[in-house]
Structure 1
Amino acid sequence: MGTVEKQRKLQDLEERFNENKRQIHRQQEEIDHQLVNFRKETGQLVQKIMYLSKNDHWDNRQFYHQMEAIDRNLIHTAQNYERQLEEKEQELTKSYRKEIERIQETNY
């Protein structure tokens, strides 16, 4: 494999790697954005329900605790997904480095 061809393969590999990393980062940002929006909207909903039910005899604390449990579960799920994205990024980096080594070792 010639030097020009190696250089082209390395450049293509780097471009694919960078695009994949950008995609992972966009997914992480989207998770964060959705989590913030969910919490904001949930907070507004809780406030409305508390206001509308202030004269009712049902237990507001129980409702509030259920909403907190839902929030904790959502955060846990988001954290798991982000951890999977981080692992995917690590695997991508490892694969990228191995491919660079393979290309550089060709015809040496």
Structure 2
Amino acid sequence: MVLRNEDGSLVFAAYKYIFNCNDALESDIHALMQGMALAIQHSDKPMVIQPDSSCALATILDDTLSRLAYGHLDAEIKALLVDREFVPLKISRDQNRVAH
């Protein structure tokens, strides 16, 4: 997770090891949720979320994952969306080299 100011300067970067992860989608959703939670703690400004996973981005935009195995993560992300304005923006994996 990388948090930047509106001018692009780094506020902080963090990572977390996920001990039990079934697949890449689950890790992407976890990263999205943890990043949003950290951003809420460290800034009061609207957030632009830039995941490189279309499926993870779908958790923000609609209810496609609410009935799947990751529905509990989807519910936590929806709860975070109530507290702050988040602007979702899909980026390519090349643009997200810092996370891989």
TM-score, normalization by structure 1: 0.25
Structure number with the higher strand fraction is 2
The higher-RCO structure (CA 8 Å, 6+ apart) is: 1
